[in-house]
Chains A and B, each alone.
Chain A
């Protein structure tokens, strides 16, 4: 069913009790052309674009829990393409362009809200670095504006821009087309679109093993039986290393926990996304009025999808230093998600050491904004057995070839990216 003002009116007549399910819940078949492991945004988007762009609809998405219950439902919904390096700039800009038309494409409101993303500069060196990044973005056709301290102060009145602030503000870099989107809706919209094109979405189906046949994976063993597949896509960021171990190879990835928290809801006070690289903090206000915030990863290997106090304390301290008027807010919820921290801070979308297994992993904490382009490029890679030019640089072998894509220049220490 197409969602529209007419379907809304029609269903109002039956008190909204007759809406059909947005997707089926089929039993797994014995074989598929493609199995995507992982029913988060990336896996569902890959299935959607496989069916839509490449006519490959004999596809199953298998998910150990429920759709979007991993990092898709745990992120802080920020969407942007303010990258310096060429491969990142083109890839994330393609993603942002897909975001701009996504609600119409999926016939599902993903609530993309281009409210702007501001990176705060706290020193003149910061400002120089942002001028350089902004210029690189504009040369790549991406919008960027360098803001003075007064422009930042006018745009974000509650921000402490005084000369005596704990973190003095010297300006900022603004991407107006950046903003936020509704994370659950992205998973649901892609799931509905993929299902309508014939993709089987199978939840509560955990992968327990991969059946190796020479240099191929012939079947996926799951808690709901063994399923054969011609091609297999891995989109399980956070657990990529864990599943790769089942296939018998290692990845340049460590898994780390990243936390976030939300305050009690309040009236509109912050109409843009504020981030500070120097303070390691970012904050935005959700449509429900909660302030959504977070900081860095905890910095040690962890698969524990839960929060703990030191990181929360850091986030709250940072919030109060930047926004003194938020000091009496109560925090409502905290949580943690586990990230694939890759060795250069950039993702891997491409072929694995095995012939018919494809990788979509290493998203660090930038996976949400990449969802549309990730699915788009991953589908292309699986369908053609070769990458699209947008993800051609994001190969697994770039580490051995010395072609790492290290936006921060951090080196092979995943916990600094």
Chain B
């Protein structure tokens, strides 16, 4: 069980949130300039660390806004939450 502190709503049960994946994945500024391998790296490849991970969550059953969460994928401890850039 996880308690995620939504920057807008305060601490809420993780079941109120929807997972949005790795927050460090950035859409390339100029997709047309990439080759297939570079595009595949953006779409498919992930760091998948065992340890601290920055990720996106949407507070679906709350304020419905997207937030960023810095969380340990092994212990599930949440270090910090914030607003996406």
Chain A interface residues (CB < 8 Å from chain B): 239, 241-242, 245, 250-255, 299-304, 308-310, 343, 399-402, 412-413, 415
Contacts and interface: CB of A to CB of B under 8 A. Distances in A.
A147 to B, nearest CB: 34
Given A300-B55, A399-B45, 18 more contacts: A241-B46, A245-B49, A250-B41, A250-B45, A252-B40, A252-B45, A253-B48, A300-B19, A301-B22, A301-B53, A301-B73, A304-B74, A310-B15, A400-B37, A400-B40, A402-B36, A412-B43, A415-B21
Contact of A251 (B14, B22, B48, B75): B48
Chain B contact-residue range equals 20 to 34
B1 A303 contact: no
Q: Which of B53, B57, B73 has the most CB of A within 10 A?
A: B73
Contacts of A255: 48, 50, 73
Contacts of B21: 254, 413, 415
Contacts of B75: 304
A300 B22 CA distance: 10
A299 B19 CA distance: 7
Contacts of A253: 46, 48
Interface in B27-65: 36-37, 39-41, 43-50, 53, 55, 57
Nearest to B38: A400
B58 to A, nearest CB: 12
Contact of B46 (A252, A299, A402): A252
A310 B46 contact: no
Interface string B57-85: 10000000000000001111000000000
A303 B74 contact: yes
Contact of B47 (A250, A299, A400): A250
